[in-house]
Amino acid sequence: MCRSIFLAFDWKNSVVFSHHSDTGMSPKITGELLRQLRQAMKNCKYFSEPIQAYIVPSGDAHQSEYIAPCDCRREFICGFNGSAGTAIVTEQHAALWTDGRYFLQASQQMDNNWTLMKMGLKETPSQEDWLISILPENSKVGVDPWIIAADQWKNMSKALTSAGHSLVAVQDNLIDVVWMDRPERPSTQLRTLGLEYTGMSWQDKITALRTKMTERKVTWFVATALDEIAWLFNLRGADIEYNPVFFAYAIVGMNTIRLFVDLKRLSDPALRDHLQLDSPSKPELSIHTYPYESVYTELQAICAAHSPKDKVWICDKASCALTQVIPKAHRTPIPYTPLCLAKAVKNESEIQGMKMAHIKDAVALCELFAWLEKEIPKGTVTEMSAADKAEELRSQQKEFVGLSFPTISSVGPNGAIIHYRPLPETNRTLSMNEVYLIDSGAQYVDGTTDVTRTVHFGTPSAFEKECFTYVLKGHIAVSAAIFPNGTKGHLLDSFARAALWESGLDYLHGTGHGVGCFLNVHEGPCGISYKTFADEPLEAGMIVSDEPGYYEDGSFGIRIENVVLVVPAQPKYNYRNRGSLTFEPLTLVPIQVKMMNTEMLTQKEREWVNEYHRKCREVIGAELERQGRKEALEWLMRETQPVV
Amino acid sequence: MCRSIFLAFDWKNSVVFSHHSDTGMSPKITGELLRQLRQAMKNCKYFSEPIQAYIVPSGDAHQSEYIAPCDCRREFICGFNGSAGTAIVTEQHAALWTDGRYFLQASQQMDNNWTLMKMGLKETPSQEDWLISILPENSKVGVDPWIIAADQWKNMSKALTSAGHSLVAVQDNLIDVVWMDRPERPSTQLRTLGLEYTGMSWQDKITALRTKMTERKVTWFVATALDEIAWLFNLRGADIEYNPVFFAYAIVGMNTIRLFVDLKRLSDPALRDHLQLDSPSKPELSIHTYPYESVYTELQAICAAHSPKDKVWICDKASCALTQVIPKAHRTPIPYTPLCLAKAVKNESEIQGMKMAHIKDAVALCELFAWLEKEIPKGTVTEMSAADKAEELRSQQKEFVGLSFPTISSVGPNGAIIHYRPLPETNRTLSMNEVYLIDSGAQYVDGTTDVTRTVHFGTPSAFEKECFTYVLKGHIAVSAAIFPNGTKGHLLDSFARAALWESGLDYLHGTGHGVGCFLNVHEGPCGISYKTFADEPLEAGMIVSDEPGYYEDGSFGIRIENVVLVVPAQPKYNYRNRGSLTFEPLTLVPIQVKMMNTEMLTQKEREWVNEYHRKCREVIGAELERQGRKEALEWLMRETQPVV
């Protein structure tokens, strides 16, 4: 497994929702590898002239947040396995750029062939400036055009060109050339999803996409994001851990559908039937399948046969290689594809599925907390064993597929490390004296979950309760907010912080991210963050997380996270007939009253807590009863007593 | 007077803080003017080849919000005198683009030679698309490069070039060619401001600017914004109504200072002394004066003598003409200049001056309201006469210079027109039965004011009180907010709306704008708006307005506006030593309790109102007493009774 971590969609390079990776504590020995790579940089088999530098970005050819082991090339060459980082190797130097979350980890994982470039520090040069300062005149800098995004290519190329160098696309990846035991690209079994889960056939999704294309006078759409392709065809895979996606591309025209995927995966008769590969109902809904690798030549052929008026939609974060196949005049780059937008607004079946998934997930978590209460006094439960128990309990639930991200299970000071993940060398024992934070989630066939609870099994300090209550106030302020249709999520972010700010506190991550339905736990194009990235307005049916926090370095961490559904609200008035929206919590796990300073809550906030707990009782109580999980039910009833 | 209106800094083209202009209700007859203009478009005196279209933007060569009569070229050619609009004349067509605020006004002011292009409607083509659709092949489109901003030129030029046309800079303005009685460019007397007002000599401001230039390795700075130049040299003029600025440019190098201004203005010995024109203290602080018009050739000469490493700072909103003098490699365009940033953070003397100005302004307003209470029952007060009275009362205060914008004085349904300004044909009489909204402000030598109060002289309806109370809650939420150092103003905008949103209401303008100190009432680079323009973080010493509202079309308008100062806050904790900020109201005019539904207020909100009114009593009461204005003092005491 490549232990890449994730950052919320579009929040790359910021301290937001990162889940930490394993840190192998001894550095990787890279001398011989670098020698081989430098050899390859001079080897004319791969290009007409030698290159003087080679850039190794993170990531795969699909803008994936998590990547498959075969794509962990930057980790392979330098040893550093954090989620964010770019390695650059020249004839003399090797340097890695990463951000503040990873300074320590990177310095531990890399040997002294590597220079750590600490991004965000004033004295650290940018990759462009560094290259320009050390390269001989007229140098060529190589990069795999499949791994670098079109917009990144553009910036790097511009900077290098203006200094007399050039950026060149090296078609064969030079890391792969020296990576002897590189894993195969995964090709897991594909799973078809019926209408009961998806609510919309892939045929109808194609038709809706074509309607959007017609509206915008676009004749071709190139899909490169794996979750969009999985969503479009109502298929799921297991090629990337935590993300039920599969490696593929798709090109949709007004009369044709091309799917690029390892063809061996298409032998299953049920799958062939689902995609109507052998007997398409209509010619324009007939899927033509091609090998994964042939997307480049097919797109080339399509573009060659172009009429001058044909416009091609491609995400501006797609790979440089695929983007540049499309002649510039025909290219219509978009920050979010129509599939990304359509996928974000869940239909009735998806909402129903997400609700079911969250009920099952809450059952498992109620059981976990009841079990922890019993076991912790024995002193045998650790961060890692608690995480394992959570997974075990989730796996007992119907249609469980796997986790949706690595569980953050953290006690005391570990809780203050936002992207913490327990490792043998950091593993703490849960006790009656420290705050416990668990941020976890799962993939079920009917939906994806992501929930954080912060609890104390003994007596929390007044300060811990005070901070918890500020965070709770923020959580409620977002969850109960009523706002006009068309409001962008970033306008709600300050609601989550107001109570903390009033006391001089804050947290340095966003407040919420979009959540997929049996898809990626982080998805665009909506979110709630102080960073005003180009988020799309919230609309009914969208699903986001609401997760303010507070982190006291060296002491404890607090985060309260629900997944919430955007629903219409019916306030007293309706200004300009715009309509209003609010949130409905899908997560139904009690929020620990013991951690609250209830005197700090307003009457409205107390009512929100009581109504939330009433709903937990009603919905999760019934399910616990049905599943005969008595201890958890008792725990739930006790934890959901009204506050006064 | 050119009755141009203003839009808050950087919020052009949005419905934000606009102050309406007079609407001449009969259209301007433009047939002959257009004939002459089209003649000029073919006349080789102005260019080597005829042009097929001519663009007439709003605005002057200094990115001014308000413009002088001589710069109202778009109004001259088409008759439409709203603040925002672009006219384009071709051989066959004449069209004007403006936004929704002005559809009615523009249609009334233009004759049928003109096509009104309603911006924001789906069917309305952009200027580029329209030009491309009607121009013959290989057309030349002309524009005055002094009036078009560098970034607008770039976009227009790109679009035209890609369609086979070209955008050409026409040095002589073709409107001026046909404008026989065009007013002279104003050249009013300059006023020097001493240290007691400015708190910092122009010499020290130059030195501080040079420090910033050194930090960023910039060798030249070109100042084009009139308020920045006025601020830098501690001078004021009266060239543009409401804005105490004067037409000038400045170019600051590391050892030289060039000031471009009508040299006739520099004869006053006190002024020459202020600028040390005859006996500079140090060579690098010697100001070299040049005629206003010679900025182009001087900048050319500077650039010609450039070393290849010299960098020139110029605002990216500066004119295309001046921007393009600087070779691209030397140009460092910036969204906000260092002067804009420095000017926004007021020093102790400026803060003291702003406080004094607001005390005088409050005295005038208390008198106004006391007078209105007495006069309204007689049925003789109109929107216009009330505005005149407000101006008269302000003019009695020390160091009054003029209004800071045209007074918005509106009764009943007129109050719902956000950019209303009373005109003879719309002028309503103030009564005991309707809500009255007055948004007004003045320029004093020590500071600039901008205040809105909404009052009822009879018995407001329950709905009017309800809406007023939501707006008040929003006003308080912003004014009392505590937030971390480094927070951008747009993150506070939703606080102003939360109470309205909860009831399904909203207002369609921003919440606050920066305010100059005896300078423009709207200034960058900070503000409070849902529009996430590139605002700079708030810091102590900045001054902004806090002015949420609610507008019930056809019925009434509510707005509560204070000018507030950003000050350090001392909450309980200090997360990561970032420090916290909050606001201190500079405006000290009672907020009408009669309009409040006090039951809807929280205890905290009631305390805020009482503390605010206590301060009004204390500060304004003392000043009213000192000035012997008894009736106003009685009114103040009555209006500031604590709410319970």
Residues of A at the B interface (Cβ-Cβ below 8 Å)? 481-484, 490-495, 498, 501-506, 530, 532, 569, 571-576, 578, 580
Lowest mean pLDDT: which of A122-131, A306-315, B231-240, B549-558? Answer: A306-315
pLDDT of residue A3: 27
Asked whether residue B14 carries a pLDDT value surpassing 70, the answer given is no
Test A504 with B532 for CB contact under 8 angstroms.
no
Test B505 with A573 for CB contact under 8 angstroms.
yes
Test B571 with A504 for CB contact under 8 angstroms.
yes
Which tokens sit at A419? 């992207």
Q: Give kind and range of the element (H or E) at residue A207.
A: helix A202-215
Q: Give kind and range of the element (H or E) at residue B297.
A: helix B295-304
pLDDT tens across B360-413, in order? 999 999 999 999 999 999 999 999 999 999 999 999 999 999 999 999 999 999
| Eight-class DSSP state of A632 | H
Q: Angle formed by the axes of helices A493-502 and A462-479, to 10°?
A: 150
pLDDT of residue B533: 62
- For range B221-225, the mean pLDDT: 97
Query: A16: pLDDT confidence band, cut at 50, 70 and 90?
Result: very low
pLDDT of residue A328: 86
pLDDT of residue A334: 85
CA atoms within 13 A on the CB side of B583: 27
Per DSSP bridges, beta strands B86-90 and B53-56 are antiparallel
- For range B210-218, the mean pLDDT: 93
Which tokens sit at B563? 């000018």
pLDDT of residue A7: 33
Nearest to A494 among B491, B503, B505 (CB): B491
pLDDT of residue A534: 64
Q: How many CB pairs under 8 A join A and B?
A: 71
Asked whether residue A12 carries a pLDDT value surpassing 60, the answer given is no
Lowest mean pLDDT: which of A398-402, A462-466, B526-530? Answer: B526-530
pLDDT tens across A545-581, in order? 999 999 999 999 999 999 999 999 999 999 999 999 9
Q: Angle formed by the axes of helices A630-639 and A348-375, to 10°?
A: 90
Nearest to B491 among A493, A502, A578 (CB): A493
B65 vs B240: CA distance, rounded Å: 10
Give the count of beta carbons closer than 10 Å to the beta carbon of residue A642. 12
pLDDT of residue B25: 62
Q: Give Cα separations from A325 to A19, A223, A300 (angstroms).
A: 35, 14, 6
Query: B10: pLDDT confidence band, cut at 50, 70 and 90?
Result: very low
Nearest CA in chain B to A580: B504
pLDDT of residue A620: 98
pLDDT tens across B274-302, in order? 999 998 889 999 999 999 999 999 999 99
Q: Give B562 or B309, the one with higher predicted confidence.
A: B562
HEC profile of B220-265: EEEECCHHHHHHHHCEECCCECCECCCCCEEEEECCCEEEECCHHH
pLDDT of residue B310: 83
Test B532 with A530 for CB contact under 8 angstroms.
no
Q: Give B164 or A394, the one with higher predicted confidence.
A: A394
Test A504 with B495 for CB contact under 8 angstroms.
no
Task: Give B193's contacts (C-beta < 8 A, 6+ positions apart).
Answer: B234, B235, B236, B445, B518
Query: Distance between alpha carbon A189 and the CA centroid of its chain, in Å?
Result: 22
Task: Name every chain A residue with its beta carbon within 8 A of the beta carbon of B498.
Answer: 481, 495
Which tokens sit at B626? 């000192």
Rg (CA), chain A: 25
Residues of B at the A interface (Cβ-Cβ below 8 Å)? 481-484, 490-495, 498, 501-506, 530, 532, 569, 571-576, 578, 580
Cross-strand bridge partners of residue B557: B551
A348 vs A345: CA distance, rounded Å: 10
Nearest to B502 among A482, A491, A501 (CB): A482
- For range A633-642, the mean pLDDT: 98
Q: Tell me the nearest-neighbour CA distance from A209 into chain B, angstroms.
A: 21
Nearest CA in chain A to B477: A498
In contact, B316 and B533? CB cutoff 8 Å:
no
pLDDT of residue B12: 31
| Eight-class DSSP state of B451 | E
Nearest to B501 among A483, A503, A530 (CB): A483
Cα dihedral A634, A635, A637, A642 sign = positive
Q: What angle do CA A349, A355, A356 make, to 5 degrees?
A: 90
B269 vs B318: CA distance, rounded Å: 32
Per DSSP bridges, beta strands B331-334 and B166-169 are unpaired
Nearest CA in chain B to A569: B504
pLDDT of residue A310: 83
pLDDT of residue B8: 35
Task: Name every chain A residue with its beta carbon within 8 A of the beta carbon of B503.
Answer: 571-573
| Site of tokens 């049996």 | A518
Test A481 with B501 for CB contact under 8 angstroms.
yes
Q: Which of B275, B587, B599 is nearest to B466 (CA)?
A: B599
In contact, B89 and B30? CB cutoff 8 Å:
no
Phi, psi (5° rounding) for residue B259? -120, 125
Nearest CA in chain B to A490: B491
List strands edge to edge, sheet with B400-403: B400-403, B442-444, B447-448
Burial of A318 (0-12, 13-18, 19+ CB in 10 A): buried
pLDDT tens across B19-29, in order? 334 444 689 99
A309 vs A276: CA distance, rounded Å: 31
Task: Give A246's contacts (C-beta < 8 A, 6+ positions apart).
Answer: A187, A188, A190, A226, A229, A230, A235, A236, A237, A238, A239, A261, A265
Lowest mean pLDDT: which of B10-24, B171-185, B549-563? Answer: B10-24
- For range B429-440, the mean pLDDT: 98
Which region, left, alpha or beta, applies to residue B273 given φ > 0 means left and ψ of -120 to 50 means alpha?
A: alpha
A33 vs A113: CA distance, rounded Å: 11
Q: Which of A441, A443, A473 is nearest to A558 (CA)?
A: A473
Cross-strand bridge partners of residue A584: A565
Query: B43: pLDDT confidence band, cut at 50, 70 and 90?
Result: confident
Asked whether residue B309 carries a pLDDT value surpassing 80, the answer given is no
Reported ipTM exceeds the 0.95 cut: no
Which tokens sit at A374? 């019993």
Phi, psi (5° rounding) for residue A88? -130, 130
B140 vs A192: CA distance, rounded Å: 58
Nearest 10 degrees: Cα torsion B496, B501, B504, B507: 30
Nearest CA in chain A to B574: A504
Q: What angle do CA B92, B95, B101 make, to 5 degrees?
A: 170
Test B506 with A573 for CB contact under 8 angstroms.
no
Query: A49: pLDDT confidence band, cut at 50, 70 and 90?
Result: confident
Asked whether residue A22 carries a pLDDT value surpassing 80, the answer given is no
In contact, A259 and A237? CB cutoff 8 Å:
no
Task: Name every chain B residue with its beta carbon within 8 A of the beta carbon of A493.
Answer: 491
Lowest mean pLDDT: which of A121-125, A191-195, B340-344, B489-493? Answer: A121-125
pLDDT, averaged across chain B: 93
pLDDT of residue A322: 96
pLDDT of residue B363: 98
A22 vs A9: CA distance, rounded Å: 22
Asked whether residue A15 carries a pLDDT value surpassing 80, the answer given is no
Q: Which of B4, B105, B17, B103 is nearest to B59 (CA)?
A: B4
Test A482 with B495 for CB contact under 8 angstroms.
no
Please state the length of chain B.
644
Task: Name every chain B residue with its beta carbon within 8 A of the beta carbon of A502.
Answer: 482, 571
pLDDT of residue A429: 98
Which tokens sit at A611? 């109504």
Task: Name every chain B residue with its beta carbon within 8 A of the beta carbon of A330.
Answer: none
Nearest 10 degrees: Cα torsion A30, A32, A36, A42: 90
Q: Give kind and range of the element (H or E) at residue A160.
A: helix A150-162
pLDDT tens across B110-149, in order? 999 999 999 988 889 999 999 999 999 999 999 999 999 9
Test B481 with A498 for CB contact under 8 angstroms.
yes
pLDDT, averaged across chain A: 93
What share of chain A in percent tops pLDDT 90?
84
Nearest to A575 among B493, B498, B504 (CB): B504
Task: Name every chain B residue with its beta carbon within 8 A of the beta carbon of A501.
Answer: 481-484, 571, 580
Nearest CA in chain B to A572: B503
Q: Angle formed by the axes of helices B383-395 and B348-375, to 10°?
A: 130
Query: A14: pLDDT confidence band, cut at 50, 70 and 90?
Result: very low
Per DSSP bridges, beta strands A447-448 and A53-56 are unpaired
Task: Name every chain A residue with its beta carbon within 8 A of the beta carbon of B538.
Answer: none
Query: A533: pLDDT confidence band, cut at 50, 70 and 90?
Result: low
A516 vs A339: CA distance, rounded Å: 12
Query: A532: pLDDT confidence band, cut at 50, 70 and 90?
Result: low
Q: Which of A543, A533, A482 is nearest to A510 (CA)?
A: A533
In contact, B503 and A573? CB cutoff 8 Å:
yes
Q: Which of A378, A399, A483, A415 is nearest to A448 (CA)?
A: A399
Which tokens sit at B347? 């020093």
Query: Distance between alpha carbon A419 and the CA centroid of its chain, in Å?
Result: 13
A274 vs A265: CA distance, rounded Å: 13
Which ranges constitute the DSSP H helices of B503-562?
Answer: none
Q: What angle do CA A61, A63, A67 make, to 5 degrees?
A: 75
Q: Which of B527, B531, B545 is nearest to B487 (CA)?
A: B527
B537 vs A629: CA distance, rounded Å: 53
| Site of tokens 């045929």 | A203
Q: Tell me the nearest-neighbour CA distance from A313 into chain B, angstroms.
A: 20
Please state the length of chain A.
644
pLDDT tens across A301-337, in order? 999 987 767 889 999 899 999 999 999 888 888 888 9
Q: Which of A517, A449, A442, A441 is nearest to A234 (CA)?
A: A517
Query: Distance between alpha carbon A570 and the CA centroid of its chain, in Å?
Result: 32
In contact, B564 and A494? CB cutoff 8 Å:
no
B326 vs B316: CA distance, rounded Å: 12
